[in-house]
Structure 1
């Protein structure tokens, strides 16, 4: 049985509306990234307590802290990123999740990516070491315009850090956007590091995100593989459907994305909670 979760700030910035839509779809987990116009790392202690109380009252849990750590220039000062990780770790402990989503740094567009390999690997190792001290698991997302946007460079980071405290959030849609075939090319390379799945699908033409199963992300094959290996972790719906459904409301886009995933799971005979 897998667990469905969701980047709920794509529904609304209001916590009650986030929970109402997820509850309507039978989803009881959410990935905490934004509430009340604040990023998760900018929430006050009072904010966090209000959120925790509401979640407990309504029977929800946090699957991961959706931090922006690492979505910064590699040439920027690193100290603020370490400080941000401290805040993310505090939030993870407070909301009782072992997971924090992170990124792999932007490199200057006018220079070869490879010029920054050592800097990226050093920073990723330092973040991993800090997480290990707190028994936290960092989830590296293979996002666009970052060092680890391809399967090879994502694997390079994971192999370099070699730690149970740095895993990957496998994102098929992002791989499509970066001209990597998700299951054929990327999955065999990084599968041993996968702890978490980001449910995004995408088409190459037009180049935009689509509901799961409607693009080139090989979501059917992915779910089949997850069933085969007995994966019981989180599938995190991150819709990004503004271009696909330009006239829809944010809640409608998220519901469309969740229902597309549930259909794929039902067709594959995979139970979810």
Structure 2
């Protein structure tokens, strides 16, 4: 075991809608952090001030800190005005302030009826506006590569972060999402994107079908990626986003079970790489 230690986190709402259950499971897995996307079935950007305060109390009672606000910002079409997502980002920034999160996950827009080349300028305009809104807040926006948005393949992800060129916009790395758009994540993306990557999301997928599988069991090149991040001196978060619920629906909601499977699978990858996450 090396002396490399990363901070374990995870998407709480994949466990249960109730943040108390989310917190209990994350603590049982040995995590000190949680990534917040929704609570009580309500998206983080739609929570009231009262709900944010209650969520903060729940997490404080469990001695859990928040690694990131998993916002839906940028998961809209570029046909909407720039101000639409800038305004919503304000609510995500408020959630980050209340919950003490240093990162907010965002996306780079759908572009229905257009080619990526036709959509590019509108995307860069919107991503720049979002980054400017975050500058000076102490919060860093992390772009998640996801299928069907502009920044789904490494070359366009790099185009976004280099064109916006803001200290408030960095990258989250999601290997399964790369697999689902035909990319070999480590082979084709690591060298290009590592200088801008500050946050790791952990899920894996099969290239043949796009199906999400536990970490290390798909084509996401998880071990090679973890070893490379280890060797590069990465010292940040690894956030579990299993997306395994469908495989575990046996007559009832079993989010905690699927989450446990995902956590144990990733723990095996970390063990092989000599990395500790807690």
CA distance in 1, matches of 2:32, 2:138: 24
| Candidates 85, 89, 98, aligned match of 2:89 | 85
Q: Which runs of 5+ in 2 are unaligned?
A: none
Give the drift of 1:111: 2.8
Aligned counterpart, 1:250 = 255
Aligned counterpart, 1:270 = 275
Aligned length: 272
What is the alpha-carbon root mean square deviation over aligned residues? 1.2
Q: 1:105-137 CA deviation, whole Å, 9 max, x = no partner?
A: 0001x3322101100001101111111132220
Aligned counterpart, 1:131 = 134
SS in 2 for 1:149: coil
1:54 correspondence with 2:58: yes
SS in 2 for 1:168: strand
Aligned counterpart, 2:186 = 183
Aligned counterpart, 1:98 = 102
SS in 1 for 2:142: strand
CA contact 1:199–1:212 (8 Å) conserved in 2: yes
Pair 244,204 (structure 1): closer, same or farther in 2 beyond 3 Å: farther
SS in 2 for 1:188: helix
CA distance in 2, matches of 1:117, 1:73: 12
Query: Normalised by the size of structure 1, how large is the TM-score?
Result: 0.96
Q: 1:137-166 CA deviation, whole Å, 9 max, x = no partner?
A: 000000111000111111000010112210
Q: Which runs of 5+ in 1 are unaligned?
A: none
1:259 correspondence with 2:244: no
SS in 1 for 2:239: strand
SS in 1 for 2:238: strand
Give the drift of 1:272: 1.6
Give the drift of 1:78: 2.3
SS in 1 for 2:276: coil
Task: After TM superposition, list the pairs within 5 Å mapping 1:9-24 onto structure 2.
Answer: 9-24=13-28
